Amino acid sequence: MKLVYRLLAATLPLVAAGYASRQPAQAPYDLVITHANVVDVETGRVLPDQTLGVSGGLIQQLGKSTAAPLVAKKTLDARGKYLIPGLWDMHVHFRGGDSLITANRNLLPLYLAHGITTVRDAGGDLTPAVFSWRQQIRAGQLAGPTIYTSGPKIDGPKAFWAGSLEVETPAQIEKALDSLQALKVDYVKLYESTISREAFLNTITAAEKRGLTTTGHMPYTATLREASERGLDASEHLYYVFKGCSAKEDSITKAVQTSLSTPKPLGLFAVLPAIYRTYDPVTATRLYRTLVANKTAVVPTLYIQKLLAELPETDHARDTLLAYIDPKIQATYARRLAGARAQSAATRAFNKQLGAKFTTLVPAMQKAGVTLLAGSDSGASNSYVYPGTSLLGELELMVQAGLTPVQALQAATINGARFMKADKRSGTIQKGKDADLVLLDQNPLTNITNLRKVNAVITQGKVYTATELRQMLQAVKH
């Protein structure tokens, strides 16, 4: 028996070695990122000295760096640097008509250069072009962020924005939703320029029955409470939340409804002073509870509100990023610029007061459990709201308002992914998820402005170094 054991002891290693020699060698990863400080945006922890193996655009391996390196076609040394999920801008616009298709496409590198690997297009008139860009980006033929889009907006008769689907009757609502589903849009965007209270609320109900996600601007003839209870998934901007925080919301809403039959109907900006005067923290808390219960998210867009409030007295002619904006898009800034310069001193002062008040809503909603989504509202017609940097400005304002850096990061990563039902493959750094990543020189959890210190951006597993990002921008510079 002892002889048998000795024979087994001698032969088993040889058999094992022979078996191992017949196994195929581990295929090299497309990309290996070594010694990274990985930021966990869900917990706010930093996982030090991590190595990631990326293939096929996915994170295939993630763990503590070891002495045995992973085999790689390309290696990125992240020692001393911080790796975060790619940022999501949850409110951008691609629009302006066919003559601005190229100008809009040339904005895409600006998002990547600022660490934004996903954007949500909140409605425009370039839907075929947007779908084409999305396909090219997925195929690696065009450098740009992943794009989610609503396609055309839904509004009322004689809508303000070109390309909108105009609805008034239930039949028109169903037809509009049919067309959006045929386009395979990612969600439904409603707008308030002319849509009636009934059509707005009925569109939400009809979309909810179809399982469609809805977001939008609201006519002041309706309340956010009603919209949320109908199934509205997100409210864009804070004007509609703010109205819902007024102790006199019902009477203000009734006044707006009644004014529709008069020569001078009351609009949003006409009633904002009354809403400001009647803001009530108890009413606000009650509204936040409704939003949480109905899972209605909010996109604050603090950055554009502040920029527009300061527009009458700010000279943007020497903005460095203006060089990357096509003159045709710059021309679309004229309408808002002229309107800002025509404002009275009282209006200018009130707009700044309003912005300060809006800022206080953000930490209150966060504390109440309302889902916040970070969006810039960048795009043609939105004067000097430059793609990329405007989202970073939004996150900085969120932190100034009272959010922690990790809460702001959540609004631009995991919250966006969850809202678009993409959190199983995006929004955090985990094995099996998309390799959409940003490598930073310094820790964004200690200072949110460190998001501006981009060392490299990885999208779909492809690395863009800081030098390559600068070259990409130079190619679209005017």
The string of pLDDT tens digits covering residues 245-260 is 999 999 999 999 999 9
Joined together, the tokens standing for residue 420 give 């678009």
Which tokens in the block code for residue 37? 């400080």
Helix, strand, coil percentages in the chain from 3-state DSSP, rounded to 5: 45, 20, 35
Asked if the model's pLDDT at residue 117 lies above 70, the reply is yes
pLDDT at 143: 96
DSSP 406-439: HHHHHHTTHHHHHHTT-TTTSSS--TTSB--EEE
Residue 35 pLDDT exceeds 90: yes
Between 180 and 5, the higher pLDDT residue: 180
Residue 347 makes CB contacts below 8 A (sequence gap 6+) with none
Task: Identify the three-state secondary structure at position 299.
Answer: strand
CA distance 80 to 76: 12
Q: Is residue 152 a contact partner of residue 178, using CB atoms and an 8 Å limit? A: no
For 394-426, b where at least 16 C-beta lie within 10 A, e where not — what string?
bbbbbbebebebbbbbbbbbbbbbbbbebbeeb
Q: What is the pLDDT of residue 21?
A: 44
CB 116 within 8 Å of CB 391 = yes
* pLDDT computed for residue 292 by the predictor: 98
Fill in the DSSP letter of residue 477.
-
Distance CA 366, CA 408 (A): 10
> Could you identify the residue written with the tokens 């959006």?
180
What are the C-alpha distances in Å from 446 to residues 401, 409, 412, 453? 16, 12, 17, 13
Q: Can you give the pLDDT at residue 4? A: 43
Distance CA 380, CA 12 (A): 71
Give per-residue pLDDT as tens, 404-454. 999 999 999 999 999 999 999 999 999 999 999 999 999 999 999 999 999
pLDDT in tens, 364-418: 999 999 999 999 999 999 999 999 999 999 999 999 999 999 999 999 999 999 9
Q: List the strands of the sheet with 234-236, edge to edge.
A: 165-166, 154-155, 188-190, 214-216, 234-236, 297-299
Beta strand 31-40 with 45-55: parallel, antiparallel or unpaired?
Answer: antiparallel
Mean pLDDT in residue range 60-64: 96
Check: CB of residue 361 under 8 Å from CB of residue 238: yes
* Mean pLDDT along residues 182-201: 97
> Is the pLDDT score of 208 beyond 60?
yes
Q: Is the pLDDT of residue 19 over 70?
A: no
Contacts of 57 by beta carbon, 8 Å cutoff, 6+ apart: 434, 435, 460, 461
What the block records as the tokens of 285 is 């808390």
Pair of tokens at residue 270: 């006409």
Q: How far is CA 433 from CA 59, 424, 461, in A?
A: 6, 7, 11
CB 119 within 8 A of CB 375: no
* pLDDT over 80 (residue 12): no
At residue 15 the predicted structure's pLDDT band, cuts being 50, 70 and 90, is very low
75: pLDDT strictly greater than 50: yes
* Residue 410: predicted pLDDT: 98
* Structure confidence at residue 25 (pLDDT): 61
Closest listed residue to residue 410, CA positions, set 161, 84, 175: 84
Do residues 460 and 118 lie in contact, with contact meaning Cβ atoms separated by under 8 Å?
no
Average pLDDT over residues 453-461: 96
Question: How far from each other are the two terminal CA atoms of the chain, in whole angstroms?
Answer: 86
Average pLDDT taken over every residue of the chain: 94
Beginning with the edge strand found earlier in the chain, give each strand of the sheet holding 146-149 in spatial order.
87-92, 116-121, 146-149
Amino acid 20: pLDDT: 43
Give the model's pLDDT for residue 280.
Answer: 98
pLDDT band at 67; cut points 50, 70, 90:
confident
CA 308 and chain centroid, separation: 20
Residue 318 makes CB contacts below 8 A (sequence gap 6+) with: none
Per the structure block, which two tokens stand in for 211? 């399982």
Q: Which one is predicted more confidently, 1 or 439?
A: 439
Can you tell me the distance from the alpha carbon of 148 to that of 150, in angstroms, rounded to the nearest whole number?
A: 7
Asked if residue 414 lies in contact with residue 367, where contact means CB atoms within 8 angstroms, the answer is no
pLDDT at 6: 54
Provide CB contacts within 8 A for 356, sequence distance 6+.
none
Per-residue model confidence (pLDDT) at position 17: 47
In the predicted model, what is the mean pLDDT of residues 97-109?
Answer: 97
What's the predicted TM-score (pTM) here? 0.94
**Rounded to an integer, what distance in angstroms lies between the CA atom of residue 284 and that of residue 246?**
7
